[in-house]
A and B are shown apart, each in its own frame.
Chain A
Amino acid sequence: DTEVTQTPKHLVMGMTNKKSLKCEQHMGHRAMYWYKQKAKKPPELMFVYSYEKLSINESVPSRFSPECPNSSLLNLHLHALQPEDSALYLCASSQVGLRPPSYGYTFGSGTRLTVV
Chain B
Amino acid sequence: EDKVVQSPLSLVVHEGDTVTLNCSYEVTNFRSLLWYKQEKKAPTFLFMLTSSGIEKKSGRLSSILDKKELFSILNITATQTGDSAVYLCAVEGFSQKLVFGQGTRLTINP
Contacts and interface: CB of A to CB of B under 8 A. Distances in A.
Given A55-B96, A103-B45, A42 B102 contact: yes
A40 to B, nearest CB: 8
Contact of B43 (A96, A102, A107): A107
Given A48-B97, A56-B97, A104 B103 contact: no
Given A42-B100, A50-B96, A56-B95, A108 B50 contact: no
B42 A110 contact: yes
Interface string A27-63: 0000101000000011111001010000110000000
Contacts of B36: 104, 107
A56 B88 CA distance: 22
Given A43-B100, A45-B97, A45-B98, A105 B45 contact: yes
A48 B42 contact: no
Which of B32, B45, B98 has the most C-beta atoms of chain A within 10 angstroms of its own C-beta?
B98
B57 to A, nearest CB: 16
Interface in A53-110: 55-56, 88, 90, 92, 94, 96, 100-110
A105 B42 contact: no
B101 A42 contact: yes
Interface string B30-43: 01101010000111
Given A48-B96, A48-B97, A50-B96, A104 B42 contact: no
A33 B98 CA distance: 10
A18 B39 CA distance: 30
Interface string B3-23: 000000000000000000000
A31 B96 contact: yes
Interface in B60-110: 88, 90, 92, 95-103
